[in-house]
Amino acid sequence: MTPVQLSTLRIRNLALVEELTWAPGGGFTAVTGETGSGKSIIVGALKLLVGERADKTLIRSGEEACTVEGVFEASDTSALNLQLQNLGVEPCEDGLLLIKRVLTAAGANRQFINGTATTLAVLKSLGDGLVDLHGPHDHQSLLSPELQRSLLDAFASCAADLASYTAAYRRHAGLERELASLHGDDAAFERECALLLHQSTEIEAADLKPGEEEDLHARYTVATQARRLLELSTQAQANLIDSEDAALARLNSVARGLREIERLDPGAAHLTAAHVRAVTEVEELAADLQRYSESLDLDPGHLQMLEDRVNLIESLKRKYGGSVESILSHGASAAERHRKLSSRAEERARLQQELAAAAATLGQHGLSLRERRTQAAPQLALKITEHLKDLGFLRAEFGVQLLPLPLPAPGGLEAVEFLFAPNPGEPSKALRAIASSGEISRVMLAVKSALAEQDTVPLLVFDEIDANVGGEIAHAVGSKMRALGATRQVLCISHLPQVASKAHQQFVVSKEYTEGRTLSRLELVSGERREGEIARMLGGQNASALELARSLLGETPQEKPAAPPASKPLKNASSGKKRSGS
């Protein structure tokens, strides 16, 4: 059972599809049908699901939007959830990864992962690790030197060596940039030194403290209103204790009445106690007002000092950043840069020494990486050659060449070039220089077969890459895809009966006309119906074609493919208001 499988694909209003719910199952799945029936809509839906760009022409005629949804089931979500966390997306629940893509006629596109709205770039980043698409043009990616290098690295299992080299390369490149920044004419450096010294000195002289701005503004506001605050506090104090009608005097007159009440009713003593507390509160409030009044500073010099401080900070913010923290950070950077420039000769010597050490480290990691690649290259070439022989290239030669680079590059000290000689007697040349479209398709299949153990993408999709082949080669193509289906899901859109007969399950796409509209329909076929479809692909449904179809299906063991992880029951064919499909 593969760690992650596509358990359900739902399509609504995409091209000829009105509504489809499809469960492809595990192993190798073939999708067949007449030319133009809509088989490639399945591939188009998967491309949308993994973040490929699209336009509104894909929306079914007369509809306002189309939707594609995919449910991936995982037996272990720990690594997947870590990736989702790094992408800022909600984790999987109950082992399910839910992806949804919506295109509207108005041009608005939306995408969701586990219900979280996300960007197309994030969806593509995730989708690249879920689905590997190979169509009539997609296999051209095999011609990329970068992909060829990454394929060799995957086969060589040198991820750790490559990570060490990459870190060393970044360190070396950073030191080179830092050293380059110390070169230039002396006049320019003197001007920069003077500017940096002015900036760092100005900021240091300001003696700023983190967080002081908020407190400063509060004190400045109080200082600007000091006279009014003194007036209000003095008036309040008078109303409490100093005026003829002060609150304290009136409370004292209340005391006489309360004492008389308590004399007549001892049970009302709590009223007298409450009165005492009220008098105490008024006296304390009056004392607080007195202290507050005395704290107010009416000195114009104090106000001017606060105003100057506020203006200084605002001026520095305009120059160096929007906060005190930004100003302090700029000052520290300017001081450090000034220190380096002031001792440029010493700094150059230090950087040159560090650069030499970094170059040595880079060289060591580069040579270690080269050694792993050198050991793995002939093994990969031999393994691909063996698979190519199965695919009809009986005397072809395949090589993996390492080409030393004049300078270290982000990917290593050498480039990787796949060499191919499809015909005997011809010298091997770069794959990109000689391979035809049909040849590249088979080479891609051979590479995928050779790297089956290292390739972690759970779903491989081949869209008619078996074009331009037939006979025994077609049998071999089908066998290779079935073998790949032992460890992952493989989906192939095919016209070849030899390929389709090797599938663990087969779906047939057909077109029908309903109420003046054209619809595509997708159905699982088995038994006699599958024999009939294979016979149609062979050229007819006569007795001889049916017999040959039975023979093709009989050549393939009919063991069941690995089932998806257990979850809710899913339908195995299209469903909706009308019969529809892909």
pLDDT of residue 19: 85
Q: Which residue type sits at 330?
A: H
pLDDT of residue 470: 67
Contact 501, 16 (CB under 8 A): no
Q: What is the pTM of this model?
A: 0.60
Cα 337 → chain centroid? 36
pLDDT of residue 258: 85
Take residue 160 and report the two structure tokens written for it: 């750790």
pLDDT of residue 218: 78
**Nearest to 431, CA basis, from 142, 222, 214:** 142
pLDDT of residue 425: 76
Tokens 């009220």 found at: 278
pLDDT of residue 311: 85
**Nearest to 57, CA basis, from 473, 49, 48, 346:** 48
DSSP helix/strand/coil, 576: coil
Tens-level pLDDT at each residue, the chain (582 residues): 457 889 999 998 888 788 888 888 889 999 998 877 777 788 888 888 888 888 788 888 888 899 999 999 988 888 888 888 888 889 999 889 999 999 988 878 899 999 989 998 899 888 888 888 876 655 556 677 888 898 899 899 999 999 999 999 999 999 999 888 777 666 776 787 888 888 888 888 888 888 887 887 777 777 777 778 777 877 888 788 877 778 887 888 888 888 888 888 888 888 888 888 888 888 888 888 888 877 777 777 877 887 888 888 888 888 888 888 888 888 888 888 888 777 776 777 888 999 999 999 999 999 999 999 999 999 999 999 998 888 888 888 899 999 999 999 999 999 999 998 887 777 888 877 765 656 777 787 888 888 877 777 888 888 876 666 667 788 888 888 898 888 889 999 888 899 999 999 999 988 877 776 767 788 899 999 999 999 998 887 788 888 988 888 887 665 655 444 333 332 333 333 333 343
Contact 511, 572 (CB under 8 A): no
Q: What angle do CA 368, 79, 42 make, to 5 degrees?
A: 105
Contact 102, 67 (CB under 8 A): yes
C-alpha–C-alpha distance, residues 482 and 379, integer Å = 23
Contact 380, 450 (CB under 8 A): yes
Positive or negative, the CA dihedral 410, 411, 415, 421 is negative
C-alpha–C-alpha distance, residues 493 and 31, integer Å = 5
Contact 396, 422 (CB under 8 A): yes
Tokens 């460890």 found at: 487
Residue 37, exposed/middle/buried by CB under 10 A (0-12, 13-18, 19+)? buried
When the pLDDT of each residue in the chain is averaged and rounded to a whole number, the result is 83
Contact 4, 80 (CB under 8 A): yes
Contact 357, 188 (CB under 8 A): no
Residue 452, exposed/middle/buried by CB under 10 A (0-12, 13-18, 19+)? middle
Take residue 448 and report the two structure tokens written for it: 């995928």
pLDDT tens-place string over residues 313-364:
888 888 888 888 888 888 888 888 888 777 776 777 888 999 999 999 999 9
Contact 154, 323 (CB under 8 A): no
| Percentage of the chain modeled with pLDDT above 70 | 90
**Nearest to 296, CA basis, from 221, 217, 370:** 221
C-alpha–C-alpha distance, residues 448 and 465, integer Å = 13
pLDDT of residue 334: 87
